[in-house]
């Protein structure tokens, strides 16, 4: 049984920072990542990481502002979000169970992942 539990969401002003955490149980390999979905929009990939060699890939909209990392000993993946913008407002979901696909931008597709958390809300006010 795979479980993903997200935490760390909240409300911040533009320019602020938040750190999201995703604790995984029953799963220890493959790719994990963060996705987000704003009201009325499709779910989009934000950042993904290989729990094997640490390879990462980011959506263009968050490059230079967000950093994904992992602690394999704790089975936890983090998303450090800096310089937040109102357009970052969304429900953020943790995903796991992704198998490597090339080119790496394919790792940002939600269909690549088998397991999903319940989500944590991030709201950025201007």
Render pLDDT for 76-108 as a digit per residue (tens, 0 to 9). Answer: 999 999 999 999 999 999 999 888 888 888 999
pLDDT at residue 88, as a whole number: 98
**pLDDT tens column, 43-69:** 999 999 998 899 999 999 999 999 999
Predicted pLDDT at 21: 98
Q: Which long-range contacts (CB under 8 A, 24 or more apart) does 60-64 make?
A: 61/87, 62/88
């Amino acid at each position: 049984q795979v479980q993903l539990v997200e935490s760390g969401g909240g409300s911040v002003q533009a320019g602020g920072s938040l750190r999201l955490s995703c604790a995984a149980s029953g799963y220890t390999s493959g790719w994990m990542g963060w996705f987000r979905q704003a009201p009325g929009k499709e779910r989009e990939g934000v950042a993904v990481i290989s729990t094997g060699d640490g390879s990462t890939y980011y959506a263009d909209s968050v490059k230079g502002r967000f950093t994904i990392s992992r602690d394999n000993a704790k089975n936890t993946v983090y998303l450090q979000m800096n310089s937040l913008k109102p357009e970052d407002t969304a429900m953020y979901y943790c995903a796991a169970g992704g198998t490597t696909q090339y080119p790496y931008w394919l790792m940002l597709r939600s269909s690549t992942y088998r397991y999903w958390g319940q989500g944590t809300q991030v709201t950025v006010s201007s």
